[in-house]
Structure 1
Amino acid sequence: MATSPFIDGLDATAARQRLWLAALHQLAIADGDFSPGEKQLLADELTRQLPGLSLDDLHHPGAPALVHRFGVGTPLAEDFLRSAVLVALADGHLSPIELEWLRHWSEVLQVGQAVIDDLLNAPTSRDGTIDIRCDTDQHPGLLDGVRRWLDGIEPADPAVARFLVRLIPAQCPFERDVTLFGWKVVHIPPMCKINPLYEQLVALRFRCLCRLEACEGSAGQPPLP
């Protein structure tokens, strides 16, 4: 039986984008640490790509839906998992439930198993959280496989490229001291010192911008602001 290319009035491309954003939303709220900024980012991207829909309209996808839209062992499936790993590791730590979702998606889509295994074998804190920091020499090669894997992201879908550009900051946030009543409470180092994947994030953002420039230039559209 042939499968209709339309779901809920969306063509196949729009349905895939909706599924992609729904899965990233599922990952973002998994550990309960869903900041207003993250929520607004996803909401804005959803409105931009699929007008008329809100985060409340997103149904978190099951394994059959992921396989249907991304395939098994395909470059598209790998790009999806890469973007999920990127979102999960952006703040430098990985909660047990985030890691479980990544493991599940890797198993279902049959991509990225070696990288997920590296993360599963990473040392954890007392609450089971994996803290990924570049200022430790205990496991210097831990993220080498993840780095190479993320360096391979070449987003073909302009919608995904645009989302990643907005997700990744254009500049490294500067280090600063947080003071209260004139007393230094905490020192926050620059993001490039906190997150060892920062170079991968910056390089990926550049590739996404190049992709968008090529697509929008050929379509005669103004560049991304």
Structure 2
Amino acid sequence: MTSITQSPYTQEQITAWFRGLFTVAWADGHFDPEEQEILAQIAQEDLAPDTDWQALDEPITSEELAAALGKNTTTAENFLRTAVMVALADGVYSATEASVLQQFCKALELNNDVLDALEITLFDDGQKREPSDPALERAQKPGNSPHPHSDVLQPVRHWLDGMDIHDPRVARFICKMIPSQCPFERDVVLFGRKVVHIPPMCKLNPLYEQLVGLRFRALSYLADEVGEDVSPYC
């Protein structure tokens, strides 16, 4: 039986949270309108059914996000952790995604040391941006970046490991976003449609172990504290 848990997040915060995650997910332009519709359907049915997702396909601004989550708060930092997770889900951290995350980080008044460290993995995704875009200047062509498992990423690993799960909606999203084991190169198909092509994440994603650990904590929270059947995620 599912128990009643008190979420520390308001409905407004959850709405802004997921709008922010989808803004990051679509930042590099890899999701067409049909795919966006599918992802919105998943969010509405499985993640936060009480949320109004009519405007989900509208990117949230940094100012809107900060107004909902607060500045320099634990809620804002936990959002940023999940946003980094979304950006790294396909194993490639693009310059476009980095720009969005830096804007969010600045508006939320969070320390950007972790994002700066993560830029060792930056790839030039070929998207058109202003020549003065810092992320574009630091981006590497695929195959030219330093070893992704460099000790430079240790602060990022520690930061991701520090996230606690306190909301079932966030926990369910994490469980769906991160696969249960390192997948082979494959196409993800939902409702009979291809959503995205995912390479072998354990080989390409320098923070795959941290993401798997985060998924385990989300599963444990749903099973132990919420009393939810987690077998669909296993």
* Contact 1:14-1:50 within 8 A present in 2 as well: no
Work out which of the residue numbers 150, 173, 179 in structure 2 matches 1:140. 150
- Residue deviations 1:74-125 (CA, integer Å, cap 9, x gap): 1110000010011001212222221111001111112241111223465655
Corresponding residue for 2:45? 47
Work out which of the residue numbers 17, 34, 55 in structure 1 matches 2:31. 34
CA distance in structure 1 between the partners assigned to 2:173 and 2:31 by the alignment: 17
AA matched with 2:225: C
CA distance in structure 2 between the partners assigned to 1:205 and 1:52 by the alignment: 23
Pairwise CA RMSD: 3.2
Using structure 1 for the length normalisation, give the TM-score.
0.74
**Percent of aligned pairs with the same residue?**
38
- Residue deviations 1:164-222 (CA, integer Å, cap 9, x gap): 0010001111369xxxxxxxxxxx984312212111111111000111113322xxx54
CA distance in structure 1 between the partners assigned to 2:56 and 2:148 by the alignment: 44
Instruction: Give 1:1-225 correspondences, 5 Å limit.
Output: 13-34=10-31, 40-48=38-46, 49-51=48-50, 53-54=52-53, 56-120=55-119, 124-125=123-124, 127=126, 128=136, 129=139, 137=147, 140-174=150-184, 190-217=200-227, 222-223=229-230, 225=232
CA distance in structure 2 between the partners assigned to 1:94 and 1:192 by the alignment: 14
CA distance in structure 2 between the partners assigned to 1:71 and 1:40 by the alignment: 30
- The structure whose RCO (Cα within 8 Å, separation 6+) is larger is 2
Structure 2 spans left out of the alignment, 5+ residues: 1-8, 127-135, 187-197
Mean alpha-carbon deviation: is it higher for 104-113 or for 71-80? Answer: 104-113
Q: Per the alignment, do residues 62 and 199 of structure 1 end up closer, same or farther by CA in structure 2, a change over 3 Å counting?
A: same
Corresponding residue for 1:3? none
* Contact 2:121-2:146 within 8 A present in 1 as well: no
CA distance in structure 2 between the partners assigned to 1:101 and 1:82 by the alignment: 14
Using structure 2 for the length normalisation, give the TM-score.
0.71
Please report how far the alpha carbon of residue 162 of structure 1 lies from its aligned counterpart in structure 2 after TM superposition.
Answer: 0.8
Corresponding residue for 2:192? none
Please report how far the alpha carbon of residue 131 of structure 1 lies from its aligned counterpart in structure 2 after TM superposition.
Answer: 7.2
How many aligned positions are there?
199
AA matched with 2:21: L
CA distance in structure 1 between the partners assigned to 2:152 and 2:215 by the alignment: 23
AA matched with 2:204: I
CA distance in structure 2 between the partners assigned to 1:121 and 1:21 by the alignment: 27
CA distance in structure 1 between the partners assigned to 2:52 and 2:79 by the alignment: 21
Corresponding residue for 2:133? none
Answer with 1 or 2: which has the greater Rg: 1
AA matched with 2:63: P
AA matched with 1:13: T
AA matched with 2:13: R
Q: Per the alignment, do residues 15 and 58 of structure 1 end up closer, same or farther by CA in structure 2, a change over 3 Å counting?
A: farther
Q: Per the alignment, do residues 204 and 21 of structure 1 end up closer, same or farther by CA in structure 2, a change over 3 Å counting?
A: same
Structure 1 segments of 4+ aligned residues over 6 angstroms from their partners = 35-38
CA distance in structure 2 between the partners assigned to 1:44 and 1:124 by the alignment: 29
Structure 1 spans left out of the alignment, 5+ residues: 1-11, 177-187
CA distance in structure 1 between the partners assigned to 2:208 and 2:99 by the alignment: 23
